[in-house]
């Protein structure tokens, strides 16, 4: 508690899915000064705005969560934007934080940075052993360059920046927009709406045979706070559960938990994305004592409950569901 009481913490993306949870946890730990600016106030793509933000707030810790993200569909539609926005935001924030004398910089990377074909489970040492999966390579590479920058700044300037690599996140408050959401919220929405509308089937992209690993948003926030306090090394650190599940099995579990008893059709003409994703997570435990506490079934149930209580029925669907569930690009 005393660590956070004396820190002024800047959280980019603090009003987003993960950021909201992180800010709540910071308050619960006694952090008195939390800055969570909105993009309309300070556009992180504008170097002058970034410099002004740091000059006005003078944080001791920066936790960089802000990102432009989406599923496979969004990544394929916006590769240039996903590359430029994510790269420029992070690069300028790191540079200006170094100039401003920030004590600690925490950067959230992405599992998309790993090679498309990588030995499972993914180890941090494997990060540079190949090119990322093509549909989200621009996003993954943009975020990966921030690791290079942090390591270079540590070497030349002694800048204390750390880099964390989370798997796909999910949980209450996620993005349930079928055009931009990731696989779990997309499937939850489709299953709940199909059940409510009496629709007999839903459609998901790909074969369903690829695998993913998922980390509950509360666990991700806990990991970030632990790493901020306890980790000061140059090497990246995986954040996950170490458990993978096929998308087909995931869809069946979501259908069961949401009460949808219809058919899930798989559109194999659409891309699967990366064949497998599962992280080796021992470094996080060894370096700063993180171990995920939420099992997938429990987290899915809580997320479905949140969606039913907050969003289900807010945008009624007339006729057959036409939107396609996206596999996760992050």
Write the CA distances from 95 to 74, 149, 180, 235, integer angstroms: 29, 9, 30, 19
Rg (Cα) of the chain, in Å, rounded? Answer: 20
Distance, in Å, from the CA atom of 214 to the CA atom of 216, rounded to the nearest integer, reads 7
Assigned token pair, 93: 């924030």
Pairing of strands 61-64, 104-108: parallel
Tokens 């030349």: give the residue: 156
Q: Which of 84, 114, 131, 139 is catalytic?
A: 139
Distance, in Å, from the CA atom of 24 to the CA atom of 173, rounded to the nearest integer, reads 13
Residue 139 known to be catalytic: yes
Assigned token pair, 321: 């569901």
266-287 CB burial, b ≥16 within 10 A, e <16:
beeebbbbbebbbbbbebbeeb
What is the residue-wise DSSP string for 27-51? HHTT--EEE---TTT--TTSHHHHH
Hey, which bits of the chain come out as E strands?
Answer: 8-12, 33-35, 61-64, 104-108, 161-166, 168-170, 201-205, 211-212, 214-216, 237-239, 245-246, 263-267
User: 251: buried, middle or exposed (CB in 10 Å: 19+, 13-18, 0-12)?
Assistant: buried
- Catalytically active residues, by annotation: 139
């Amino acid at each position: 508690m005393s660590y956070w009481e004396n820190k002024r913490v800047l959280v980019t993306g603090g009003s987003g899915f993960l950021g909201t949870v992180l800010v709540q946890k910071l308050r619960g730990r006694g952090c008195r000064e939390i800055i969570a600016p909105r993009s309309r106030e300070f556009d992180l793509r504008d170097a002058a705005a970034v410099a002004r933000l740091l000059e006005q707030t003078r944080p001791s810790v920066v936790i960089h969560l802000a990102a432009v993200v989406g599923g496979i569909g969004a990544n394929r539609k916006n590769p240039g934007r996903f590359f430029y926005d994510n790269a420029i935001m992070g690069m300028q924030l790191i540079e200006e934080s170094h100039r401003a004398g920030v004590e600690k910089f925490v950067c959230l990377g992405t599992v998309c940075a790993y090679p498309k074909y990588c030995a499972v489970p993914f180890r941090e040492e494997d990060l540079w052993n190949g090119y990322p999966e093509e549909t989200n390579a621009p996003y993954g590479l943009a975020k990966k360059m921030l690791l290079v920058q942090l390591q270079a700044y540590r070497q030349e300037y002694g800048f204390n920046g750390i880099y964390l690599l989370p798997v796909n996140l999910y949980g209450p408050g996620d993005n349930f927009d079928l055009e931009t959401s990731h696989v779990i919220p997309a499937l939850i929405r489709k299953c709940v709406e199909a059940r409510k509308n009496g629709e007999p089937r839903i459609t998901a992209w790909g074969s369903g045979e690829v695998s993913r690993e998922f980390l509950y948003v509360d666990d991700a926030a806990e990991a970030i706070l632990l790493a901020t306090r306890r980790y000061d090394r140059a090497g990246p650190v995986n954040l996950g559960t170490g458990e993978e599940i096929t998308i087909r099995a995931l869809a069946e579990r979501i259908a069961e938990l949401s009460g949808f008893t219809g058919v899930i059709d798989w559109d194999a003409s659409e891309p699967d994305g990366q064949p497998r994703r599962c992280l080796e997570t021992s470094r996080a435990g060894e370096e700063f004592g993180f171990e995920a506490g939420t099992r997938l079934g429990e987290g899915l149930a809580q997320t479905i409950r949140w969606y039913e209580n907050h969003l289900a029925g807010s945008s009624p669907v007339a006729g057959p569901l036409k939107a396609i569930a996206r596999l996760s690009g992050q």
